[in-house]
Amino acid sequence: MNGLPPGSVIGILGGGQLGRMTALAAYPLGYQVHIFSPEEGPATQVTPLRTLAQYEDEDALARFADSVHAVTYEFENVPSATAEFLAARVPVRPGPNALAICQHRVREKQFLNDAGVGTTRWGAALSAADVARWVSEFGAPCVLKTSRFGYDGKGQTIVRSVDDAARAWTVVSHGRDGVECIVEAFVDFSMEASVVVARGVRGDVASFDLVENIHRDHILNRTIAPARVTEDVAAQADAIAHTVINALDYVGVLGIEMFVGRDGRVLVNELAPRPHNSGHWTQNGCVTSQFEQTVRAVMGLPLGSPRRLADAEMFNLIGDDVLRVPELLTDPNNHVHLYGKAEWRPGRKMGHVNRLRF
């Protein structure tokens, strides 16, 4: 099988910057791109084909399915019913099952542990009493997170003691019992790291180098490629990436967020079923970018080489950082990527810079 021929259409659910960069990587391979999004955004600026509709709009989804040859998504909070509706009509990659696992923290941790992949100790919680029980079992501090719809550290809080459980529950659940949450033992990590890994329709796997991630205000601030770790840590991370992507029977690009423990053990924090912010450096630092790799996987082409051509540092342009672009452009090793967002707001990801080191 040679994959979908040039002229075929890749459908992308979501209109944000990841969709924009995936779309921009699809055109050199001769593909057309159709964005499905509730509203205009960074991605719809670069594609003539778009459907502006709600993810629950089955008429719009059916028309979209008829007009594309494969579908992927650029963020994981697409309703699973939407992915299933589309998958009955057109290949959806990664499939609805992988999406369902990655968009629910309890299911995700259970899946990882069942696959033999280490995580921090965790327990499912539906009430403040559940939280208190897990905190007393794991010891404080713990992290309480909603199982669904968290991003950039939203929907989570640290539980400082058993007595803090009620406050933490109110913050995260807004006081409603039955909201699905997870309690995680706090990881005393020496580094946050991640692997972006791809799997093609024939089961071929290609992983980019392990990278090191530095967060600020719960938002990824900086990625350093490759991560400054021992060979053993890099090998553990790569083995985990292969195990996870094969166990998910995945087609597409997967971001795997990890903690490197002070004991040198690698634990998985969470999975992102799409290109990942920590993989942006591959646009300029690798033979194949994570976005081209997404297109190759989803359209059934052979994967490209993930080989690193240069060491790199990626930093996000958040809020008014974007005002520094003219100055950043004076460094010849900087590649500036802006997302076309009209106005900056505090905390808003406006773009990123890949700075290569030769």
Ligand X SMILES: Nc1ncnc2c1ncn2[C@@H]1O[C@H](COP(=O)(O)OP(=O)(O)OP(=O)(O)O)[C@@H](O)[C@H]1O
Which residues form the interface with Mg ion (CB under 5 A)?
257
> CA-to-CA distance for 258 and 75, rounded, in angstroms?
19
Contact region with ligand X (CB under 6 A), list: 26-34, 182-190, 287-295, 305-313: 182-190
Nearest to ligand X of 192, 209 (CB atom)? 192
Nearest to ligand X of 154, 357 (CB atom)? 154
Instruction: Return the residue nearest Mg ion (CB atom).
Output: 257
| Residue choice 187, 227, 298, 314 for contact with ligand X (CB under 6 A) | 187
How many residues bind ligand X (CB under 6 A)? The answer is 18
Question: With left for phi above 0 and alpha for psi between -120 and 50, is residue 218 left, alpha or beta?
Answer: left
> CA-to-CA distance for 205 and 242, rounded, in angstroms?
7
Contact map string, positions 21 to 60, toward ligand X, x by CB under 6 A: ----------------------------------------
Nearest to Mg ion of 238, 257 (CB atom)? 257
CB under 5 to 8 A by kind: which of Mg ion, ligand X, none does 187 bind?
A: ligand X
User: Residue 152 Cβ, how far from Mg ion at the closest point, in Å?
Assistant: 8
CA dihedral (66, 69, 73, 74) in degrees, to 10, reads -120
Nearest to Mg ion of 27, 151 (CB atom)? 151
Q: Does position 270 bind ligand X by CB under 6 A?
A: yes
User: Residue 194 Cβ, how far from Mg ion at the closest point, in Å?
Assistant: 9
Contact region with ligand X (CB under 6 A), list: 34-42, 64-72, 143-151, 195-203: 143-151
Nearest to Mg ion of 154, 176 (CB atom)? 154
Contact region with ligand X (CB under 6 A), list: 5-13, 86-94, 151-159, 311-319: 151-159
CB under 5 to 8 A by kind: which of ligand X, Mg ion, none does 143 bind?
A: ligand X
Nearest to Mg ion of 257, 292 (CB atom)? 257
Contact region with ligand X (CB under 6 A), list: 71-79, 80-88, 90-98, 183-191: 183-191
Q: Does position 192 bind ligand X by CB under 6 A?
A: yes
- Closest CA relative to residue 270, chosen from 180, 192, 353: 192
Q: Does position 223 bind ligand X by CB under 6 A?
A: no
Q: For the chain, how big is the Rg over CA atoms in Å?
A: 20
Q: Which residues bind ligand X (CB under 6 A)?
A: 120, 143, 145, 150-154, 184, 186-187, 192, 215, 218, 220, 257, 269-270
